[in-house]
Amino acid sequence: MTRRRLLAVGGVLLALVLGLGLADLLLPPDLTRLHRQSAVVEDSSGTLLRPFALADGTWRLDSDPARIAPLYLAMLREMEDGRFGWHPGIDPLALTRAAFQAVSQGRVVSGGSTLSMQLARLLDPKPRTMAAKLTEMARAVQLQMRLGTAGVLRAYVTLAPFGGRVEGVRAASLAWFGIEPAHLGPAQAALLAALPQSPERLRPDRHPQAAKAARDRVLDRAVGAGLLSADVAQAAKAEALPTFQRDLPMLAPHLAERLSAEGDKRIRTTIDGNLQRVVEGLARALSAGWDDGAELALLVVANDGRRVLAHVGSGDWRRCQVDLTRASRSPGSTLKPFIYALAFDDLSLHPGTLIEDAPQRFGLWLPRNFDQDSHGVMTAREALQRSLNIPAVLVLDQVGPVRLASLLRQVGAELAFPALAEPSLPLALGGVGMRLVDLVMLYAGLAEDGLVRPLAFVHGAETPTGRALVGQPAARAVVQALEGSPPPPGVASARLTQRGRAIAFKTGTSYGFRDAWSIGVSRDYTIGVWVGRPDGAPRPGQYGLAAAAPILFQLFDLLPPDQGRRSPPAQPDHALYHAQPPAALARLSGRGEDTVLSGPGRPRILFPPDGTTVEALADGIALAAQGGVAPLKWIVDGVPLADDVRFWRPEGDGFSRLVVVDGNGQRAVSTIRVVTGQ
Would you name the residues annotated as active-site residues? Answer: 80, 333
Tell me the C-alpha to C-alpha distance, in Å, between residue 400 and each of 370, 392, 403, 481.
22, 12, 5, 22
Give the burial string for 171-208 (b: 16+ CB within 10 Å, else e): bbbbbbbeebbeebbbbbbbbbbbbbbebeebbbeebe
464 in Cβ contact with 305 (< 8 Å):
no
**Which phi and psi angles does 675 have, rounded to 5°?**
-125, 120
515 in Cβ contact with 507 (< 8 Å):
no
Question: How far is C-alpha 130 from the chain's CA centre?
Answer: 53
**Which phi and psi angles does 138 have, rounded to 5°?**
-65, -45
CB atoms inside a 10 Å sphere around CB 456:
19
User: What are the residues facing 42 on neighbouring strands?
Assistant: 48, 268
Give dist(CA 163, CA 211) in Å, integer: 11
DSSP code for 231: H
- Cα angle 113, 115, 121 (rounded to 5 degrees) comes to 75
DSSP secondary structure letters along 182-212 = GG--HHHHHHHHHGGGSTTTT-TTT-HHHHH
DSSP code for 421: P
DSSP secondary structure letters along 257-281 = HHHHTT--SEEEBS--HHHHHHHHH
479 in Cβ contact with 521 (< 8 Å):
yes
Give dist(CA 563, CA 302) in Å, integer: 12
Tell me the chain's radius of gyration from C-alpha atoms.
35
